[in-house]
Amino acid sequence: MIANTPVSALIGLFLMALYFLMAIFAPLIAPYGMAEVVGGVWEPASANHLLGTDNIGRDLLTRMIYGGRTTIFIATAATLVSFTTGSVLGFFAAVAGGWVDQVLSRFVDLIMSIPTLIFALVVLSVMPVTIPVLIVVMGLLDSTRVYRLARAVAVDIEVMDFVEAARLRGEKTRWIIFREILPNALSPLVAEMGLRFIFMVLFVSTLSFLGLGVQPPAADWGGIVKENKDGIVYGIGAALWPAVAIATLAISVNLVADWVLNRTTSLKGGRG
Amino acid sequence: MSDPLVKVRNLKIGATVYPPGERPRDIEIVHGVDFDLAPGKVLGLIGESGAGKSTIGLATMAYGRGGVTITGGEVWVNGRDILKSGLRDVRNLRGGEVTYVSQSAAASFNPAKKIMEQVIEASVEHGKYSRSQAEERARALFAKLGLPDPDNIGNRYPHQVSGGQLQRCMTALALCPEPDLVVFDEPTTALDVTTQIDVLMAIKDAIRDTGVAALYITHDLAVVAQVSDEIMVLKMGDMVEHGQTDQIINAPREDYTKALVSVRSIEHEEKKPTPDPVLRVQDITARYSGTKFDVLHNVSVDLHPGQTLAVVGESGSGKSTLARVITGLLPPRAGNIDFAGRSLSPDLAGRTREDLRELQMIYQMADVAMNPRQTVGTIIGRPLEFYFGIRGSEKRKRIIELLDEIELGKEFMDRYPAELSGGQKQRVCIARSLAAKPKMIICDEVTSALDPLVADGILKLLLDLQKIEDVAYLFITHDLATVRAISDSIAVMYQGKVVRYGTKSEVLSPPFDDYTDLLLSSVPEMRLGWLEEVVAHRKMESAGN
């Protein structure tokens, strides 16, 4: 198993596991409390503070660990919302066809014609910014893209004889969607899932950076950049750490998604 | 005898396979094949799918397709071993000395370029002819191949000519650079029988007139018998028998060759019509939504319980549309369908579960008719569960019984469709329809995608099952040999109309109408000289005799 896995995927898997474990066990790993002020402003790295301290003297490593927890949790939850909504609606549109498909697809086109970030900012500025609201807004906005992919994949599968055979047997739409189409649409969807997850990480970081995402004192990577961005002027690199974390997480998830896609397509007889 | 043009010695070809869930591994698909081909002679390569015939054909161009590599042996063309030649020499060989005609001309022509441009490309690239010379030669070839309007047909795009014409254009393409050898890879397999005759005759004349040597690859022994001087029978990458065409057809030595020659020898006693047909189709007229013409005109046929009605016709005759109307996928514009003594709702949504259960369908392409992510057990078990509510150990028992009926063991239960051969897949599809205990099964070209021996097995199985289960078949096919083998009554369809209908003996006895005559006489017969006879007969008829 390990021997067959390409090095790139192994690197990706290792980093991904590292980040996810860190997120899950944050309270156990973090050396200090999340919002605990433990030193001076922007202290350099030392044995006590491995990454130094932030703009109000909190331990940066602790903030990074808790920030990762928030960011990864929100991104994962929003990805799940977006996939469930997007793929179920996409499959439904493909199977139902006709006016159902038209109405759903044109509505999705309408939403997609508005830049996602602006739409999200507008919605979040009128709604209370809590984590559940954030997850639902991000998930629903992103589900338009999943919808398009799922519908395209399902339309191809829908014309296969085995789906016709199921219809002729008298199967209901629910069986056709979940038992005939879904298992055959999984591999492109899983690969897309990795990419959408990364997009969610970037999205929540952007929102937090703009002040409409995770609210202080809770930490998240975008927020840490925002809090420490003024330090850059003085040559203090505290804002770079969350940026590095976002970038490495993005790359590692991409590497894993590529590998998953290759593996699943070769299962179906292709050569990846 | 002069030196052979092509000399193949101990040719070995390997490929990499990607079995599901395992590591890729290398296998040998051709195990040391030898043959000689003299200039101007035609060698027929025949075998079932996986026999390695196309792979051997392409090896004479030093080419291995899609992950296939030539691993050993020698291929001599015009006095040199092309497997040891450099890239430059191989380039001169391909499209110059050796050319290739593929099965699907429609998929091989570039749809964005005119036919002429593609036909002369190789000749001009290889510097054999100037552009105007090549065009002149192409026009001469178009005329020789019997294409209409040979002076202008080259200015058309590939989609503007018919399938048979495009296949002849491809032959012109292959002959244009005056090659020494042409590899024909199933050139008529995708064509209707009546078109196949014209293309075969055109190819045969062109080979004779240009004196080119040819490798003719096909799975149809009756076809290869018409065009080749020698035949080589291949099986799983091994040579089975190699001899003169006459000997192979009339006195085959090996058992495998004998089986191929005697294929379609199923005898089926015709049953008489009963007073109560299980299916009565009356005056059906249908068209697809968004179109302005009817694809079925006043079609009426009866199917009697436990009997087989063959619906035969060429592509576009409306036979598959008839199946869609009967299943309810395409509600007709007029007419009605009675099934098992009750009137069927024209559309699927209006039919009861009992209607659906008693009317099952088997498809042409078994591999897309089964969900690739479901096991054989799930596929066969679903109708049991769905129609009869059978679950658990009882369901398992019934699945094993059904697998036994289709002559597969219970170990197949946990396999996925990708792990089955073509014939096994079709058997599983048959079991799935039988699981519903139907009164009638629509079989839509169920043997067309299968090798002749496998197809024979499926037909025998269907006939046996008919006796056991007393199920009626509506058998849609373009293959008259199949029709003869299994039907009780026949409906011949042409352009959406039933042109001839009756019991098998009535339909297949003279006097014939023009279309049935054309169709019957177009089915290749396994004897030498058949092609010439048919063509001569048709010329006589058109001359008014």
Could you tell me the two tokens for B226?
Answer: 């018409």
Nearest CA in chain A to B416: A268
Q: Report the distance separating Cα B544 and Cα B522, nearest Å.
A: 20
**Band (B270; pLDDT cuts 50, 70, 90):** confident
Question: Mean pLDDT score of chain B, rounded to an integer?
Answer: 87
Give pLDDT, residue B49: 78
Q: Report the distance separating Cα B95 and Cα B394, nearest Å.
A: 62
All residues of chain A having their beta carbon less than 8 Å from the beta carbon of residue B327 are: 168
Average confidence (pLDDT) over B327-338: 91
A106 touches chain B (CB under 8 A): no
Q: Report the distance separating Cα A7 and Cα A154, nearest Å.
A: 33
pLDDT, tens digit (0-9, with 9 covering 90-100), for B142-171? 988 888 888 988 899 988 888 888 888 998
Among A110-119, B254-263, B434-443, the minimum mean pLDDT is found in: B254-263
Average confidence (pLDDT) over B107-117: 90
Average confidence (pLDDT) over B255-272: 78
Cα B480–Cα B485–Cα B488 angle in degrees, nearest 5: 95
Q: Name the pTM for this structure.
A: 0.80
Q: Which of B282, B194, B188 is nearest to B227 (CA)?
A: B188
A7-267, CATH topology level:
MetI-like fold (1.10.3720)
Q: How many CB atoms lie within 10 A of CB B402?
A: 21
The minimum CA-CA distance between B354 and chain A, rounded to whole Å, is: 10
Q: Give alpha helix (H) positions in A30-130.
A: 60-96, 98-112, 116-126
Mutate to test the interface with B, among A156, A159, A168, A190 (most CBs of B within 10 A): A168
Answer whether A161's CB lies under 8 Å from A48's CB: no
Inform me whether the pLDDT recorded for A271 exceeds 50.
no
A2 touches chain B (CB under 8 A): no
Question: Mean pLDDT score of chain A, rounded to an integer?
Answer: 88
Task: Please name the residue that has the structure tokens 């709702």.
Answer: B345
Inform me whether the pLDDT recorded for B48 exceeds 90.
no
Q: Report the distance separating Cα B153 and Cα B168, nearest Å.
A: 12
DSSP state, residue B484: H
pLDDT, tens digit (0-9, with 9 covering 90-100), for B244-253? 988 888 888 8
Give pLDDT, residue A269: 39
Q: Which residues contact B306 (CB under 8 A, 6 or more apart)?
A: B271, B466, B470, B471, B472
Q: Which of B347, B308, B332 is nearest to B496 (CA)?
A: B332
Question: What's the sign of the alpha-carbon dihedral B345, B348, B350, B352?
Answer: positive
Answer whether B490's CB lies under 8 Å from B498's CB: no
DSSP state, residue B388: I
Cross-chain Cβ contact A165/B374 below 8 Å: no
Q: Where along chain A do its domains lie?
A: 7-267
Those of residues 71-130 in B touching chain A at CB distance below 8 A are none
pLDDT, tens digit (0-9, with 9 covering 90-100), for A142-199? 999 999 999 999 999 988 899 999 999 999 999 999 999 999 888 888 888 888 999 9
B365 touches chain A (CB under 8 A): yes
All residues of chain A having their beta carbon less than 8 Å from the beta carbon of residue B363 are: 161, 165
Q: CA distances (Å), A256 to each of A250, B210, B246, in order? A: 10, 58, 61
Inform me whether the pLDDT recorded for B410 exceeds 90.
no
**Band (B134; pLDDT cuts 50, 70, 90):** very high
Give me the residue from B23, B67, B356 closest to A168, CB to CB.
B356
pLDDT, tens digit (0-9, with 9 covering 90-100), for B334-370? 998 999 888 989 888 899 999 999 999 999 888 889 9
All residues of chain B having their beta carbon less than 8 Å from the beta carbon of residue A271 are: 18, 67
Cα A97 versus chain centre, distance: 30
Q: Coil, helix or strand for B55?
A: helix
Could you tell me the two tokens for B524?
Answer: 């290749």
Cross-chain Cβ contact B329/A168 below 8 Å: yes
pLDDT, tens digit (0-9, with 9 covering 90-100), for B66-97? 778 888 888 888 888 888 888 888 888 888 88
All residues of chain B having their beta carbon less than 8 Å from the beta carbon of residue A96 are: none
A184 touches chain B (CB under 8 A): yes
Answer whether B275's CB lies under 8 Å from B457's CB: no
β partners of residue B27: B15
All residues of chain A having their beta carbon less than 8 Å from the beta carbon of residue B356 are: 168-170
- The one-letter code for the residue type at B502 is G
Residue spans of beta strands (DSSP E) within B359-463: 359-362, 440-444
- Domains of chain B (ranges plus CATH)? 6-261 (3.40.50.300), 279-509 (3.40.50.300)
How many residues appear in chain B?
A: 545
pLDDT more than 90, % of chain A: 53
Q: Which residues contact B517 (CB under 8 A, 6 or more apart)?
A: none
Cα B528 versus chain centre, distance: 22
Give pLDDT, residue B22: 67
Torsion over CA of A25, A31, A34 and A39, rounded to 10 degrees? Answer: -170
Cross-chain Cβ contact B23/A4 below 8 Å: yes
Cα B415 versus chain centre, distance: 27
More confident residue, B41 or A191: B41
Answer whether B409's CB lies under 8 Å from B401's CB: no
Query: What is the DSSP pairing of strand B497-503 with strand B489-494?
Result: antiparallel
Q: Report the distance separating Cα A33 and Cα B192, nearest Å.
A: 79
Inform me whether the pLDDT recorded for A267 exceeds 50.
no
